[in-house]
Amino acid sequence: MNVKLTRREFLIAGTLMTATVPLWLPSQETAPVNAPGGRPPEQGTEGPTFHHRVTWMGDPSTEAVLSWTTRAAGKEHRVYYDTESRAGKLEAYAQKQATFKDGQYKYVQADEAYAKPGFYHHAHLTGLKPNTTYHVVYASDGDASREFHFRTAPAEDVDFTALAGGDSRLGKETPTVHVDRRKMNERMRALFESKDENVLCLVHGGDYCMTAQWRHIERWMTDHELTTTADGRLLPVVPTRGNHDSAIGFEEMFSHPTLDKPFYFKTQLSPKVGIVTLNTEISVAGDQRDWLAATLPAMRNANRWLFAIYHRPLFSSVRDVQDGAGRRNNWAPLFEANNIDIAYESHDHALKRTVPIRASAVDEKSGIVYFGDGGLGVPQRKPDTTRWWLQPPGIAQAAHHVHTLKFTKESLRVQAIGMNGEVLDDYTAKPRDLAALAAEATKKH
């Protein structure tokens, strides 16, 4: 079906464009390849720099990686930045930073029908001021983007919201106009633009595309630009690696100069909110489990709110119940011993919230609730609602969604927001009484 939309505006490569737009339904149909670089025509043309984005790992109150794409390799790539707008006049910006990593996205024969080659550029900004808006321009060989801006994470104990979600890919190999992903990105932009939500970042649970090869990630990054606000505010991403992200393109799309582990790391969103990002695509035992065991105690002691995010679930809503056994055996005891507050999962393509779980049983008093299962555009599946961990007060359904995690001193409110802005689930947790939990654990032993 071909529906014509007249005068629809798209934010592509930092430029608002108005066009007559063919919108393909359903989202699995193949897109024409008659636009520059094989880009679907409704996504417009690109500037000399495009795919402007921000990645967070480590301490996002003082650092960030700013990344972009060009069609030519170029010789000189820099980010110009300041705490005041300089309207794109490069010489007026107080600071500039050269890239630490540049190169061509790996290009294979299957990419040729859908995308021209592209080159990645990553600049690491350090020494930033917490909770501060930075105005930035991406420049390659003198060709500069429009001015964008992003806000660093707070260094004070303040309220904020993080978005969480996973599985923004399609269900087939051929690159297409991914209508559902674009709709979910537009929903995230609406949340990001809302002053009531106070959104800081997106914590992505993995599976960005069908593969992490260029013809797919090129379109994911183009679609991610739809999360950028009309006034140019960029939505930072805390990335997780999924099973469809195994190709080298994932490491070309997301990079950090201090990442010394294969995409498992910790991130401090505020002085009292910490994230542990894990990698289900390597051994969940061995070095990764040892790192998790060594990392969680200090993070638990330092944070009011501590959560883990990873791709493949411990408590699946769709797949065989034994699918997560290895992860449950290796990670759940550490989650429970360190009393993390929630866990966020993807991979199954459904919406779920489990009952509170401890020691493989319902524990309303001190159990951990597992959220997610992936709804940022991937075709949804019907969950198995007979599983014990999905019984009331747990929930499960097939529904595109993104979660809002609203952190305050008094509570953590987790809401599942549907494609049209409807609230699909609403859950509130109170801060854990760690002293009481420790005393209870001592009595049991």
Residue 367 belongs to domain with CATH number: 3.60.21.10
Q: What percent of the chain has pLDDT over 90?
A: 82
What average pLDDT does the structure give for the chain? 90
Overall average pLDDT of the 291-313 stretch:
98
Q: Higher-confidence residue: 194 or 24?
A: 194
**Residues 413, 375 within the same domain:** yes
Positive or negative, the CA dihedral 55, 56, 61, 64 is negative
Check whether residue 166 and residue 56 sit in a common domain.
no
Same domain for 135 and 259?
A: no
Q: Are residues 334 and 440 in the same domain?
A: yes
The model carries a pTM of: 0.89
Nearest to 416 by CA among 368, 385, 373, 386: 373
Residue of higher predicted confidence among 297 and 23: 297
Q: Tell me, yes or no, whether 231 and 320 share the same domain.
A: yes
Closest CA to 275 of 326, 343, 329: 343
Name the percent of the chain lying above pLDDT 70.
Answer: 90
Q: What is the mean pLDDT of residues 342-352?
A: 98
Give yes or no: residues 338 and 232 share one domain: yes
Q: Which residues are CB-contacts of 194 (< 8 A; sequence separation ≥ 6)?
A: none
**Sorting pLDDT into bands at 50, 70 and 90, what band is 45?**
low
Tokens at 67, concatenated = 């990344």
Q: Are residues 329 and 308 in the same domain?
A: yes
Question: Are both 303 and 166 inside the same structural domain?
Answer: yes
Q: Are residues 101 and 179 in the same domain?
A: no
At which of 151, 169, 202 does a domain end? 151
Q: What CATH number should be reported for the domain holding residue 90?
A: 2.60.40.380
Number of structural domains the chain divides into: 3
Same domain, 378 and 305: yes
The whole domain housing 251 covers: 160-444
- Strand segments, DSSP code E, in 280-432 are 305-309, 342-345, 351-353, 357-358, 361-362, 369-372, 395-397, 401-407, 412-418, 423-429
Looking at the fold, whether 235 and 323 belong to one and the same domain comes out as: yes
End-of-domain residue from the set 151, 176, 206? 151
Lowest mean pLDDT among 117-126, 289-298, 302-311, 319-328: 319-328
| DSSP assignments along 121-178, one per residue | EEEEE-SPPTT-EEEEEEEETTEE---EEEEPPPSS---EEEEEE-----SSSS-B--
Taking the C-alpha atoms of residue 15 and residue 7, their distance in angstroms, rounded to an integer, is 15
- Regarding whether 184 and 213 lie in a shared domain, the answer is yes
pLDDT band at residue 443 under the 50/70/90 scheme? confident
The residue among 117, 151, 185 that closes a domain is 151
pLDDT tens per residue across span 274-296: 999 999 999 999 999 999 999 99
Is the confidence at residue 22, as pLDDT, over 80?
no
